[in-house]
Structure 1
Amino acid sequence: MNSLVLAVVGIAMMLAGYFLYSRFISAKVLQLDSKFVTPAHEFEDGIDHVPTNKLVLWGHHFTSVAGAAPIVGPAVAVIWGWLPAFLWVTLGTVFFAGMHDLGVLWASVRNKGKSIGSLSGRYIGDRGKVLFLVVIFLLLLMVNAAFAVVIAGLLVGTPTAVIPTWGALVVALLVGQAIYRLKWNLPIVSVVGVVALYSLIILGDQVPVVLPETVLGLSAKAFWILLLFLYAGVASMLPVWVLLQPRDYINGLQLFVGLGLLYISVLITMPTVVAPAVNQAVPEGTPSIVPLLFVTIACGAVSGFHGMVASGTSSKQLNKETDARFVGYFGAVGEGLLALGAIIATTAGFKTLADWEAVYSAFGQGGVNAFVDGGGAIMESALGIPHSLSATVLATMAVLFAATTMDTGVRLQRFVVQEAGELMGVKLRHISATLIVLVVCLALSFAAGADGEGGMIIWPLFGTTNQLMAALSLAIVTVILLRKKRLALVTMIPFGVILAMSVLALVVQLGTFYKDGNWLLLVLDIIILVCALFVSVESIRAMVKAPTQGDPDAEVRAAEPVEHDI
């Protein structure tokens, strides 16, 4: 199979989804209204609620959701063959992820910027809200702790990415000042910002930064993990326009330049996909493709984390409701393109099938390193870019997106803590809530030893938990559509498919954890499964009652906004 075919067909399907399917959803189902007063204007405070240009907001939303997961998931899942991964990424992006991200963003905007957790209380019931928040907190804990490990590993393994990774913060701060304080022209600022970022990448390739074996009594990886959490804690408390928005925006542009180079390289060299379409000789111990494919590839096909970002930060910055189509649906398309690039890099970036099989010798192999090495080989062959520089470009891209996800994830987890405090009658300020988040995340990170890799302890549950969040978020949007007497099948069908795959995956993992004697994951699996089943039952009950209830917009207009909400 020629990799160019995969690239052309995949890109065409996703663009058709945006230009055709999302237009139908926006106009006929959600009925987006440009005159609707969004929370960004209604509650504008210059910190969390900030009306934002849709291009800048798209950059924030896209890079917040496009962390390491859309690379890691497909790069691992190709062990079953390139065809299943390709189909799930393309069809999932068009019919699942796009609808999910756009639908949750719209639902939050229509509910004064409330989080998916708060929406669960309003549309599913208070009995399910607490359990919903438990799932959200665990998911954010997994994301923040595990992504810190991934980033630290890349900074240690690819020292040429250190300078561009931290230098990007300075670029982002300057871009934020240029856009909001100096009111400079956005295209000019964008070009200058991207040029500055790629100049840092070239500099980093020439000046790798290798830490000594121990720093302040910590290993190099543990030091990076500690520094990353300290940075994320500070970044999560700053006004969104100072660092979060400009950092995400520049990273989004950087990603498309990097993806453009990768896809141009594929066009020039047209490398052969050496991996089998369907792998009939998977390594021993590889789990069944159903349901594990649908939870191994989460981000890049559909992801519950997207709903938390859409309802946690993006909905508070949406300038016009009609911008939701570009920010939400096209944000999902951008992540789908990244996942597609990961599939191509990890199946066509090897010279022979034997080389590919040597990397994919067991389930869980491949991942970011396979993407960086495979994609770097394709770019070197096509564009003559030295493999070291190509790998630096892709590694920096992976690090920056994982870091932006951490930025947003810590901010969202701080909101969760604040909301949980409100439920208990305790009002937590930004600093105290952030400190609680950092203590919990760092405690998990260093629970398994001084190397800080404890974040990977509960990572095996990320895929299923993430997909459960997507299913439950789709359930909420379905209830809203049914109450408005609009076409709900666009969310109801994805809800059913994702819920079935997630619950089945949890059951399969229960057996694995029991067999391996992994009691921590076994207990967490049971907790998540019970929460999911309870909330699912409540969701289905709400769907049955919804057609007999009135338009929820009237209730929203009468309700008082919550000051701290995710």
Structure 2
Amino acid sequence: MQSVVIVLLGIVGMLFGWFFYSKFIAEKIFKMDDNFVTPAHELEDGVDYVPTNKVVLWGHHFTSVAGAAPIVGPAIAVYWGWVPAVLWVVFGTIFFAGVHDMGALWASARNKGKSMGALSESVIGKRTRALFMIVVFLVLLMVNAVFGVVIAKSFVSQPNAVFPAWSAIVVALVIGQLLRRKVSLIPLCLIGVAILYYTIYLGSSMPIALPDEMFGLSANANWIIILFIYAAIASLLPVWMLLQPRDFINGMQLLVGLVLLYGAVFISMPDITAPAFNTQTAVDTPSIIPLLFVTIACGAVSGFHGIVSSGTSSKQLNKETDGRFVGYLGAVGEGMLALITLVAVSGVALAVSPEEWHEIYSHLGAGSVSAFINGGANLIENGWGISQEVASTLLAVMVVLFAGTTMDSGVRLQRYIIQEWGDIYNISIIRNGVVATLVAVLCCLLLAFGAGGADGSGGMIIWPLFGSTNQILASLTLLVISVMLIKANRPAKYTLIPMSFVLIMAFFAGVIKLGEYYQQGNWLLVTLDLLVLVVSVLVMLEAWSVIVKHRKDSADITEQ
């Protein structure tokens, strides 16, 4: 029964965020204007800059930012207890993530669709751009390499998910062509989702697996190579051809998944077996503060969202006011996924008794995606009577498709950054889209295989850094938005307060991790962590000098 109370309070909070808080921020702070000509119209090229229906764009944006992170983070962080995790997800979505994502869309759209890295130059200064883009590239490298490894491992452990995952690409390509020919969106959506779920049903009884060894590589390694070949091709295609319809179909799939999961809660009304505050943590468990706030990133606030908002979504914004629907509502959708994940891994759907729950969550990092799939599948079976096998395949496909769409967008975004570096440093060869994409994919593969060996597990080596680096990036994005607001003489406290909180928590977490890596003698992580911390301090100092100068100039003008 407690699960129903958690869900109801979460829904009420997020409805307040959408109907009231987001409207206030969009109209009074960002002052979004329907008459403003967005980059999608001003720079339309049919490839990256494409005016897009806000519902379709929401599907792209939402599934690109979601990935597997709003499942993984909450499913790990519940170890400290469900109360702090639920509070951070709900309040983080309302006051942090929604404002961050919508603000990044607004800021980029107001500056010809520039990425946050490029935008930081015009808002703060040239040196800031170079520093900012280092952090952005590292985050993208982590996300792409790790999600490639995660999907590959999922294909190996869940061969039932292979057929529906690749079928979704074919369905998306067909829908993209039909939408281009002005076929109505609603029937296409219904048909596409129906086909996708039919392939999930087929996949549950039709597993597809690669040989244990092929071309001298393991199945896991071969899947990683195949996935990055696909991601390279997908990132070069026009957004309307694959990216938009694939992400939209996946977004609709998530809505169906959320209806099934939330509906199951109200039908079966499961109790919570996880502790509200876990007092039986392992001896080596790190402090909940600040680690909770970097463990749950997507689902509360995430710097990766700013990369997507300013990298692909802002270039497809039909009207500036659509930014509220796409950005803030996208954050709400992710918050809803994080919230139901917490219920799935906290309730009797996962463990019948508190003792059994503690056995599953014996240490920080236990449970994770497998806990969500098992708990969620049991929840759906108890609520709707759908078989455990079909339900687990459905949730596994959901995780794979989300991670896959994030890879699609992530490689495209890496290509943008490499091309921007070509412009900045006048390196003509990497301005070429194909060359830039090959460089991006090569970097990810070098990390996966070069650092991890022939099994392709290298992406996981720098993953411990993702939490703090990602949240530092979120604070830097909020900083750029804040400086824009200050220069426009608008209230900046609605972005500065979240920025300050996230920065303190992320920086503190980064320092703690730096000490751990040093003690372990892991010099790769020491170097990368130190680089991120130093870069963030330098960006903050640059921004502060700009703010001080602006206020001094404003005071001088007032005195005159």
Matched residue, 1:440: 443
Q: Does 1:59 align with 2:63?
A: no
User: Which letter maps to 1:530?
Assistant: V
Matched residue, 1:16: 16
Matched residue, 1:385: 386
Matched residue, 1:108: 108
Q: Distance in 2 between matches of 1:527 and 1:423?
A: 21
Matched residue, 2:462: 458
Matched residue, 1:276: 275
The normalised TM-score by structure 1 is 0.96
Equivalent residue of 1:321, what SS?
A: coil
Q: Distance in 2 between matches of 1:463 and 1:177?
A: 38
Matched residue, 1:564: none
Q: Does 1:265 align with 2:238?
A: no
Matched residue, 2:397: 396
1:542 Cα shift? 2.2
User: Which letter maps to 2:186?
Assistant: P
Q: Residue deviations 1:186-224, cap 9 Å, x none? A: 111110110011011001011111222112222111111
Matched residue, 2:121: 121
> Is the contact between residue 262 and residue 378 of structure 1 (CA under 8 Å) also seen in structure 2?
yes
Q: Residue deviations 1:384-404, cap 9 Å, x none? A: 111111111111001000000
Q: Distance in 1 between matches of 2:28 and 2:70?
A: 30
Matched residue, 2:424: 423
User: Which letter maps to 2:514?
Assistant: L
Equivalent residue of 1:209, what SS?
A: coil
1:373 Cα shift? 0.6
> Is the contact between residue 113 and residue 315 of structure 1 (CA under 8 Å) also seen in structure 2?
yes
Matched residue, 1:413: 414
Moved over 4 A (4+): 547-550
**More deviation, 294-303/125-134:** 125-134
**More deviation, 415-424/27-36:** 415-424
Q: Distance in 2 between matches of 1:474 and 1:128?
A: 14
Matched residue, 2:99: 99
1:358 Cα shift? 1.5
1:10 Cα shift? 0.7
Matched residue, 1:317: 316
Matched residue, 2:513: 509
Matched residue, 1:248: 247
1:516 Cα shift? 1.5
> Is the contact between residue 483 and residue 549 of structure 1 (CA under 8 Å) also seen in structure 2?
no
Q: Distance in 2 between matches of 1:547 and 1:204?
A: 61
2:486 aligned to which of 482, 487, 497: 482
1:110 Cα shift? 0.5
Q: Residue deviations 1:252-306, cap 9 Å, x none? A: 0000101110110111111111000010111221110000000000010000000
Matched residue, 2:503: 499
Matched residue, 2:371: 370
Q: Distance in 2 between matches of 1:273 and 1:222?
A: 39
Q: Distance in 1 between matches of 2:120 and 2:182?
A: 39
Q: Distance in 1 between matches of 2:493 and 2:102?
A: 15
Q: Distance in 2 between matches of 1:369 and 1:545?
A: 52
Matched residue, 1:556: none
Matched residue, 1:331: 330
User: Which letter maps to 1:342?
Assistant: T
1:235 Cα shift? 0.3
Q: Does 1:145 align with 2:145?
A: yes
The normalised TM-score by structure 2 is 0.97
**More deviation, 398-407/121-130:** 121-130
Structure 2, unpaired ranges of 5+: 555-560
Matched residue, 2:557: none
Q: Distance in 2 between matches of 1:225 and 1:352?
A: 38
Q: Does 1:132 align with 2:136?
A: no
User: Which letter maps to 1:185?
Assistant: S
Q: Residue deviations 1:366-411, cap 9 Å, x none? A: 1111100110111111111111111111110010000000000000
Equivalent residue of 2:321, what SS?
A: helix
User: Which letter maps to 1:507?
Assistant: V
1:549 Cα shift? 6.2
Matched residue, 1:561: none
Q: Distance in 1 between matches of 2:361 and 2:522?
A: 25
User: Which letter maps to 1:267?
Assistant: F
- What percent identity do the matched residue pairs reach? 56
Q: Distance in 2 between matches of 1:546 and 1:309?
A: 29
Q: Distance in 1 between matches of 2:192 and 2:210?
A: 28
1:418 Cα shift? 0.9
1:480 Cα shift? 0.7
User: Which letter maps to 2:294?
Assistant: V
Q: Distance in 2 between matches of 1:68 and 1:540?
A: 35
Equivalent residue of 2:530, what SS?
A: helix
> Is the contact between residue 478 and residue 543 of structure 1 (CA under 8 Å) also seen in structure 2?
no
Structure 1, unpaired ranges of 5+: 551-566
Matched residue, 1:229: 228
User: Which letter maps to 1:511?
Assistant: G
Q: Distance in 1 between matches of 2:130 and 2:553?
A: 24
Q: Distance in 2 between matches of 1:311 and 1:234?
A: 22
Q: Residue deviations 1:100-142, cap 9 Å, x none? A: 0000100000011111001111111112211111111111000
Matched residue, 2:558: none
Aligned length: 549
Equivalent residue of 1:446, what SS?
A: helix
User: Which letter maps to 2:392?
Assistant: A
Matched residue, 1:357: 358
Matched residue, 2:35: 35
Q: Distance in 1 between matches of 2:520 and 2:47?
A: 47
Equivalent residue of 1:467, what SS?
A: helix
> Is the contact between residue 479 and residue 546 of structure 1 (CA under 8 Å) also seen in structure 2?
no
Q: Does 1:215 align with 2:214?
A: yes
Q: Distance in 2 between matches of 1:545 and 1:104?
A: 24
Q: Distance in 1 between matches of 2:9 and 2:549?
A: 41
**More deviation, 317-326/155-164:** 155-164
Q: Distance in 2 between matches of 1:542 and 1:380?
A: 57
> Is the contact between residue 285 and residue 363 of structure 1 (CA under 8 Å) also seen in structure 2?
no
Q: Distance in 1 between matches of 2:99 and 2:109?
A: 15
1:547 Cα shift? 4.2
> Is the contact between residue 485 and residue 547 of structure 1 (CA under 8 Å) also seen in structure 2?
no
Matched residue, 1:196: 195
Matched residue, 1:554: none
Q: Distance in 2 between matches of 1:67 and 1:458?
A: 18
Q: Distance in 1 between matches of 2:306 and 2:141?
A: 16
